[in-house]
Structure 1
Amino acid sequence: MKHMLRIALLEAVRVAGLPGAIAARAKAQQPLPERPRILLIRPDHLGDMVMTTPVLDALRAYVPTAQITMMVGPWAADIVARHPAIDHLRTCAFPGFRRTAQSALEPYTLLRQIAHELREEHYDLAINLRNDFWWGAALMYLAGIPRRVGYALAPAEPFLTHALPFRPHRHSTFYNLELTSAGLEALGLPALEQPFAPEHYPLVFTPTTDEQCWLQTQLEQAGIDEKTEVLVIHPGTGGAVKLWRNAAWTRSANALLNRYPTARLVLTGSPAEHEMLEAIAQGIEPRPLLLSQMTIGQLAALLKRASLVLGVDNGPLHLAVAQGTPTVRLFGPTDPAIFGPWGPANRHIVITSQEKCPSCPCIPCGRLDFRPDELDEHPCVKRIPEQAIEEAACTLLNTFCRQ
């Protein structure tokens, strides 16, 4: 019944948007304005938003006169709000990405409302930067935008003017760049230069001077001077199935501090994760600094200062890559080919439970929404041994921090 309702509602959207689509087709035949208006849509949370940042510099370089607007969820706005390539930032509480319940009709009510607002802004190009986000494709269609770029995936494809074939198991940033390149071609401009690689299109997020000064104060109060190597562990993540064992973090932290006695450890997380940080910190000597009340920029300043960052598959690890800091990260249900580090391969080590856990053949399954009572049946991350983490951390510290 729910599937049939969606089909009916999407058909209603298609019919309602036909007059605008016809007008948009005529507009696409007109000469491109001197300052083309470009809309980028990305509904995701912190990590995915960090992996979107390379397209902003690329667009600004290829279309320096463009007026670039980015529409993001309020939960990730801080990642791109300061980016110099963006002229306007719009926030939208995208359906399906809010961590609250919603009615079956709410996505369509919001779709109509936001499309009406966008129609008044007369965009020349819109790019749906999430490959499976049908709502974003429908939004571009209802807004009457003449060039609408996305992947040819149902049910989004009928709403697009430029639908790219979707090739699975590519990196998330690769997809962002491929769509952006197609958007440039839709405008009659040259495509992005290949290859789509981190050295050509790096992640970008720059902490401010004030954020770096805040960090310096925090470190000084903890007795950490500018010559001390800082190790950061960010153990939390949005999906419980991706968590490692608290006791394993404790043992690995102690092993590293014993190996590098002049280093200091910082544990980071959200306010909701403070209890987990305390549990990990209890057995670590010397006691680590706990920071769970930080802005994104303050966290980035810490990650930039760090010699090494360890964690599971989470947004802050991508933020660390944007700071040029080596990382060690644990993967289980998510695919590192898609969500792994977008940075120099020799500076980042991914440890997958598939390598260390032959009893978990289903990974990467891509599923994160396990109920609490199901988690014990999916221990793919929890079974990664401490030794693997410690060896990877030592490899990076010896290579980049112990010359």
Structure 2
Amino acid sequence: MKIIIYCLPGLGDTIMFTPCLRLLRQKFSEAEIVALTMFSASYEVLKDNSYLNDVILWEFLIKPKLQSLKFLCHLRKQKFDLSIMPFPAYRRTYNIVSFLVGAKKRIAHCFSKGYLTQFTFLNTKAIPINEELHNAKNNLNLLTLLGINLSHDEPKLDLNPSEDDKRFAHTFLSSLQLSGKDPIIGVHPGSIHYRRARHKRWPKEKFASLCDRLITQYKAKILIFEGPSERGLAKEIADLMRNKPIIIANLRLGQVMAIIKKCHLFIANNSGLMHIAAAMGTPVVVIAGPTNPKWDGPWGVKHRIVRKTLSCSPCYTYTLPYFSCQRKDFACLYEVTVEEVLEKVKELYNRKYYDRQISEEVNYG
């Protein structure tokens, strides 16, 4: 049996499908299971997954259309028996890709609208989404179409840095000359930067103030993470600070994962790195803004959500083409104060926990 999984949305969506991979392999132990990605970050987090036989990266957004069509024809010749479209794939282009590859059985979700306009009808079987559930749970429900019984225990995000990446993180953190008692707090002020997703980003001035307060109040070592679509953002924040943080940039994603695993707390917008932190078991404070944390908040990890409770928020749904705000000011995000974030940090902060973790994991003498 040959199975192809279309991990076409961004990094966070790909990570939220990983609990399904183990269940798929258990059900189809002898199958050839392939994942198709179109973002390099999604490829990086899946390429070493033991439940997959192969991971393919094809950057549809930058490849010429004719070249992409030839590529899909090549995949069609592989004669897949089953294709799986992870949640949330409310895009006609995704359904067209699945149809052109031509697996005999094509499963996906169906939404409250878009059956015709988004070509959902091209799938051979679809299950309605449940808007009360987390994205990871909606993905798990998709597996019931394959006769996979779900247990009451919720599978964890399945993401692990390699041994080489763990050694890199060990060497890198040992070079910071930590005192042995100071917590390491990771901060990710960015997010993916397309379809107006910059409106998921809390203002850099507030991040700078927050980092200074964390250093003053908790004697924290601040690591500011910067991705490829966020060039210069970490430096801009560092330039606004009284105290200087450590900027984490220009590293492979596996190395970033291993460093985040060593952090004792992670503060971020709703981003792919936020989901990596959750997968690494690192407690997370999320500044949510217009997104709905019930759907795509941290899965399976201790966390807190910071957002302004407005009558119009959360406003972003998967059937919208991009982020927009009826108030025109994105107050749900931009009016979140530094004090409100600090309060959530305080709720997660446990001195005994940090002391134990630091002595066990970060004091490399």
What interval of TM-score do these two structures reach, taking the shorter chain for normalisation? 0.7 to 0.9
Aligned pairs for 1:8-19 within 5 A: none
Write out per-residue CA displacement over residues 113-156 of structure 1, whole angstroms, 9 at most, x where no aligned residue. Answer: 34422232122111122431333333333444221111233333
1:160 and 1:370 map into 2 onto residues whose CA distance is 27
SS at match of 2:334: coil
Normalised to the residue count of structure 1, the TM-score between the two structures is 0.77
Amino acid aligned to 1:83 = N
User: Is the 8 Å Cα contact of residues 41 and 127 (structure 1) preserved in structure 2?
Assistant: yes
Q: Mark the structure with the bigger radius of gyration.
A: 1
Of stretches 233-242 and 112-121 in structure 1, the one that deviates more from structure 2 is 112-121
- Confirm or deny that 1:71 pairs with 2:36: yes
Amino acid aligned to 2:206 = A
1:278 and 1:364 map into 2 onto residues whose CA distance is 31
Of stretches 60-69 and 213-222 in structure 1, the one that deviates more from structure 2 is 213-222
- Cα offset for 1:266? 0.9
- Confirm or deny that 1:173 pairs with 2:136: yes
2:244 and 2:23 map into 1 onto residues whose CA distance is 43
Match 2:172 to one of 218, 222, 226:
218
Q: Which residue of 2 aligns with 1:264?
A: 221
1:267 and 1:39 map into 2 onto residues whose CA distance is 36
- Confirm or deny that 1:48 pairs with 2:9: no
- Confirm or deny that 1:361 pairs with 2:319: no
1:140 and 1:275 map into 2 onto residues whose CA distance is 37
Of stretches 116-125 and 304-313 in structure 1, the one that deviates more from structure 2 is 116-125
Pair 1:255–1:228, CA change in 2 (3 A): closer
2:69 and 2:255 map into 1 onto residues whose CA distance is 37
SS at match of 1:282: helix
Q: Which residue of 2 aligns with 1:128?
A: 85
- Confirm or deny that 1:84 pairs with 2:50: yes
User: Is the 8 Å Cα contact of residues 140 and 150 (structure 2) preserved in structure 1?
Assistant: no
Aligned-residue CA RMSD in angstroms? 2.7
User: Is the 8 Å Cα contact of residues 37 and 66 (structure 1) preserved in structure 2?
Assistant: yes
Match 1:384 to one of 332, 336, 339:
336
Q: Which residue of 2 aligns with 1:351?
A: 306
SS at match of 1:163: strand
Match 1:119 to one of 38, 58, 76:
76
2:178 and 2:189 map into 1 onto residues whose CA distance is 21
1:385 and 1:228 map into 2 onto residues whose CA distance is 25
- Confirm or deny that 1:140 pairs with 2:98: yes
- Confirm or deny that 1:308 pairs with 2:274: no
- Cα offset for 1:244? 1.1
State the identity as a percent.
22
2:68 and 2:230 map into 1 onto residues whose CA distance is 34
User: Is the 8 Å Cα contact of residues 8 and 39 (structure 2) preserved in structure 1?
Assistant: no
- Cα offset for 1:369? 4.3
Amino acid aligned to 2:96 = A
2:140 and 2:181 map into 1 onto residues whose CA distance is 38
Which sections of structure 1, spanning at least 5 residues, go unmatched?
1-35, 186-190
User: Is the 8 Å Cα contact of residues 202 and 334 (structure 2) preserved in structure 1?
Assistant: yes
Normalised to the residue count of structure 2, the TM-score between the two structures is 0.84
Match 1:294 to one of 251, 257, 262:
251
1:226 and 1:205 map into 2 onto residues whose CA distance is 28
Pair 1:267–1:139, CA change in 2 (3 A): closer
- Cα offset for 1:322? 0.5
Which sections of structure 2, spanning at least 5 residues, go unmatched?
357-365
User: Is the 8 Å Cα contact of residues 137 and 148 (structure 1) preserved in structure 2?
Assistant: no
- Cα offset for 1:193? 1.5
2:121 and 2:243 map into 1 onto residues whose CA distance is 59
SS at match of 1:381: helix
Amino acid aligned to 1:265 = I
Match 2:150 to one of 193, 201, 222:
193
Amino acid aligned to 2:30 = T
Write out per-residue CA displacement over residues 359-399 of structure 1, whole angstroms, 9 at most, x where no aligned residue. Answer: x735323468469xx99732331100111110111211227
The 4+ residue runs of structure 1 with deviation greater than 6 A are: none
Pair 1:82–1:169, CA change in 2 (3 A): same
Q: Which residue of 2 aligns with 1:237?
A: 191
- Confirm or deny that 1:335 pairs with 2:301: no
Amino acid aligned to 2:332 = C
Write out per-residue CA displacement over residues 310-346 of structure 1, whole angstroms, 9 at most, x where no aligned residue. Answer: 01110001000000000001111211111111114xx
SS at match of 2:222: strand
- Cα offset for 1:220? 3.0
